Structure 1
Amino acid sequence: MPREGRRRFGFVTDEWPRAGAAGHLAYNHALIAHLREAGHTVDLYLTRP
């Protein structure tokens, strides 16, 4: 993929996305994994400790 096609995404969530967890956490994990596999950079921002 050409460098110009790569993007940086900011992902804001209150829980760490992980596979095999509750539905929304698994979905978020899959989405982030897809973006990274496509060559994009994904920054995670947690809204609580």
Structure 2
Amino acid sequence: MIKVKAEANYGFAGTNMTFEEEFGDDVTDEEIEEAMRDMVMEQVNWSWEKE
């Protein structure tokens, strides 16, 4: 097993987050990056509108 720790900060006080996940030994760096990015983005509430 590979243990991965990711840290995220949204540029404001108190927004530091740490995410940890375990992956199988055969996981690629691309798969790790995608999974960790998804974890971080699940914590973001955002939207946009066209004016």
Shorter-chain TM-score range:
0.3 to 0.5
Please state which structure has a larger fraction of its residues in helix.
1
The TM-score, its normalising length taken from structure 1, stands at: 0.33
Larger radius of gyration: 2
